Amino acid sequence: MTLQRHLPDTALLRQTFALFPSGVACIGAVVDGAPEALVASSFTVGVSLDPPLVSFAVQNSSTTWPIIRRAERIGVSVMASDHEAICRQIASKDRARRFDDVETHVAESGALLLLGSPVWLECRIYSEVPAGDHHLVLLEVSGLGLNPELGPLVFHGSSFKRVHEGD
């Protein structure tokens, strides 16, 4: 094992971060009558139980987050193991086609949720903290739903993986 004691280059840092498996979440809302969403592999649950907080990091260059953050409520859908194609579609730059053939539910509050997800959360923005080339967004959970029979989609080694029972 070699431990580097200097700041690694961006490519090595990205490769290092990719070795930590993370869940993938769709963060979305209906804003001005249109569905908007982004995909985050930086989603974290259990930030706080009182108040109930979750978090994710969003790039400062995101063009979608400034739209979503205007919503009263934001939906968080943990993506299921069979959502890889949907994940790629929602993360694409083609805004007009992000939701083609994607089954969603819109809560009364405007929170956008993906059907077939193991976890759904309805949230409001609690706070945002600048964090280098990202912002860390804390969301307060105001409603939730779950389907524990569904496995999550996991991002690891710069690719999507499925969690299999018994692994």
On whether residue 5 sits in a domain, the answer given is no
127 in any annotated domain: yes
The pLDDT, as a whole number, for residue 94 is 81
Which residues in the chain show pLDDT less than 50?
167
**The CATH number of the domain where 101 resides is what?**
2.30.110.10
Taking the CB of residue 27, how many other CB atoms lie within 10 A of it? 27
DSSP conformation class of 126 = E
Residue 43: inside a domain = yes
Write the pLDDT tens digit of every residue in 65-109.
999 999 999 999 999 988 889 989 999 888 778 889 999 999 999
**Residue 49 forms part of a structural domain:** yes
Number of domains in the chain: 1
Is 14 within the bounds of a domain? Answer: no
> Quick check: is 92 in a domain?
yes
pTM for the full model? Answer: 0.86
pLDDT at 156: 66
* Closest by CA position to 76, among listed 134, 146, 154: 146
Is residue 97, in this structure, part of any structural domain at all? Answer: yes
